[in-house]
């Protein structure tokens, strides 16, 4: 392999060692393809396609280091996004200025990272620490699965502000353990992104006085493009806050898609035989797949446009309804561990929602599936799931996102099995 060819790193070892290998390759001006567990074969095959190395060479200035990162987890279509190292560094610098705007000295912070390097939200803590000269500590995933041990394993240093990056699933797990909650309360900032923060989870975090900073970004934007300051979150403001100082946000008239303009947008996605440039408007805007609106405190996300359905003439965002159902089920004491709403074709309505449901225990499943249709009986017809399917294996992926394509395939197979419950 020559220095001009992409280097494939499989990130299944110690994060410190993998970070060292990554930074060594960057120092040589290499393009590094980051593969998570189980992804090496697909990514290696994509890199072997004729014309890929030449396309990467044309897209990048000579000697410019870059990464290829997986993107597209919520839509179910995995693709590889090219981000120059300079774009990641610009994102890290913008994050440092955001911290400084809160009165924190970036160099004095300690960045705590429990997220994997092959996700942009797990890669950026490394860049943020390097940019500011701050400390970086990796959190083993086992610690988040056993939150009672977290505070003992990693006591927060006095006088050094701790900045933590989490996805909502991790936050929910930590909130179940009082010792972990006390540890979280000692952080200066807890960035929560990667998926929409459910209202019920936000309310629990506020009740515990946790300094959450809900944020929004994508692989294509080199991670975070907006964040809500913790003091505004604790005051009850919703959403993901205003844009960072190197980003512009707007809503497209067609569907209300969040559009981003910034100098750190990705160069494109790997495709057979080359690189597909990021689709930009003539004046440089990239249209995301997320719908949103602007409130008093900044951007508020409504859900994925590719997950939205039109039911009886109404646009319905399943993610909002999932959060609402989780909250109402918790208020009723129902053992609902997970729920996913999917749209299916309907000759009368155009599309109708179906629900995949996982109970906290298998023995609870039948009673739960009887209770949930009654719980939503007063919802608008377009928002009420028509059918309910027990799904014991239902879970988000490692990044805390729903692989909706995967669960559509599961639903297709389930329809040949036992009869579903109708609302």
Residue 45, domain member (yes or no): no
Alpha-carbon distances, residue 6 vs 3, 30, 268 (angstroms): 8, 7, 15
238 and 382 share one domain: no
Q: What is the pTM of this model?
A: 0.81
Domain containing 216 — which CATH number? 3.40.50.12780
Residue 189, domain member (yes or no): yes
377 and 296 share one domain: no
Instruction: Annotate 50-70 with three-state secondary structure.
Output: CCHHHHHHHHCCCCCCEEEEE
Residue 221, domain member (yes or no): yes
Domain containing 415 — which CATH number? 3.30.300.30
Tokens describing residue 265: 């947008």
CA distance 391 to 402: 14
Three-state DSSP state, 403 = coil
373 and 290 share one domain: no
Element (DSSP H or E) covering residue 354: strand 350-359
Let me know: does 348 contact 413? Beta carbons within 8 Å. Answer: no
160 and 295 share one domain: yes
Sequence-distant (6+) residues with CB within 8 A of 207 are: none
| Strand ranges in 125-265 using DSSP code E only, listed in sequence order | 135-138, 162-166, 189-192, 212-218, 223-227, 247-251, 257-262
Residue 315, domain member (yes or no): yes
Residue 22, domain member (yes or no): no
246 and 316 share one domain: no
CA distance 408 to 400: 18
Dihedral of alpha carbons 336, 338, 341, 342, sign? negative
Enumerate the β-bridge partners of residue 275. 270
Residue 54, domain member (yes or no): no
Three-state DSSP state, 31 = strand
283 and 388 share one domain: no
401 and 319 share one domain: yes
Q: Residue 288's domain spans which residues?
A: 85-268+277-303
- Each residue's pLDDT tens digit in the chain (423 positions)? 444 578 888 766 688 888 999 999 999 999 999 987 777 888 888 888 888 888 888 999 888 999 999 886 434 456 899 999 999 999 999 999 999 999 999 999 999 999 889 889 999 999 999 999 999 999 987 888 888 888 888 999 888 999 999 988 889 889 999 999 999 999 999 999 987 788 888 999 999 999 999 999 999 999 999 999 999 999 999 999 999 999 999 999 877 899 999 999 999 998 877 899 999 999 999 999 899 999 999 999 988 787 788 787 777 889 889 988 998 999 999 999 999 999 998 877 888 999 999 999 988 999 999 999 999 998 888 899 999 999 999 998 866 778 888 898 899 887 655 445 666
Residue 49, domain member (yes or no): no
Domain total in the chain: 2
204 and 89 share one domain: yes
97 and 175 share one domain: yes
243 and 387 share one domain: no
For residue 340, the number of C-alpha atoms closer than 13 Å in the C-beta half-sphere is 26
210 and 283 share one domain: yes
119 and 98 share one domain: yes
Residue 160, domain member (yes or no): yes
């Amino acid at each position: 392999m020559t220095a001009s060819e992409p280097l494939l790193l499989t990130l299944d070892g110690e994060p410190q060692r993998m970070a060292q290998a990554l930074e060594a390759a960057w120092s040589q001006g290499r393009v590094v393809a980051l593969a998570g567990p189980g992804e090496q074969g697909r990514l290696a095959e994509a890199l072997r396609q004729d014309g890929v190395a030449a396309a990467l060479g044309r897209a990048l200035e000579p000697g410019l280091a870059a990464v290829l990162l997986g993107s597209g987890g919520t839509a179910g279509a995995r693709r590889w996004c090219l981000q120059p190292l300079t774009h990641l560094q610009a994102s890290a610098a913008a994050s440092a200025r955001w911290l400084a705007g809160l009165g924190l000295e970036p160099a004095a912070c300690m960045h705590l990272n429990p997220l994997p390097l092959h996700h942009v939200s797990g890669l950026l803590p490394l860049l943020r620490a390097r940019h500011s000269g701050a400390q970086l500590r990796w959190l083993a995933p086992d610690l988040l699965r056993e939150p009672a041990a977290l505070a003992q394993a990693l006591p927060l240093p006095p006088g050094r502000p701790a900045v933590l990056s989490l996805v909502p699933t991790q936050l929910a797990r930590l909130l179940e353990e009082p010792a972990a909650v006390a540890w979280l309360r000692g952080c200066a900032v807890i960035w929560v992104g990667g998926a929409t923060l459910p209202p019920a989870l936000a309310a629990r975090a506020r009740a515990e006085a946790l300094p959450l900073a809900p944020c929004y970004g994508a692989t294509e934007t080199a991670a975070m493009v907006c964040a809500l300051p913790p003091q505004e979150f604790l005051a009850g403001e919703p959403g993901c806050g205003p844009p960072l100082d190197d980003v512009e946000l707007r809503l497209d008239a067609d569907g209300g898609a969040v559009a981003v303009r910034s100098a750190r947008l990705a160069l494109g996605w790997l495709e057979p035989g080359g690189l597909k440039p990021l689709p930009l408007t003539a004046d440089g805007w990239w249209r995301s797949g997320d719908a949103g609106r602007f409130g008093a405190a900044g951007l508020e996300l409504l859900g994925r446009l590719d997950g939205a359905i039109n039911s009886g003439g109404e646009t319905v965002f399943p993610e909002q309804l999932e959060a609402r159902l989780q909250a109402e089920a918790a208020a009723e004491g129902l053992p609902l561990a997970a729920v996913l709403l999917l749209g299916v074709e309907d000759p009368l309505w155009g599309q109708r929602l179906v629900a995949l449901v996982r109970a906290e225990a298998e023995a609870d499943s039948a009673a739960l599936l009887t209770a949930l249709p009654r719980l939503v009986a007063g919802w608008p017809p377009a928002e009420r799931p028509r059918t309910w399917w027990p799904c014991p294996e239902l879970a988000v992926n490692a990044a805390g996102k729903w692989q909706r394509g995967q669960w559509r395939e599961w639903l297709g197979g389930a329809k040949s099995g036992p009869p579903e419950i109708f609302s």
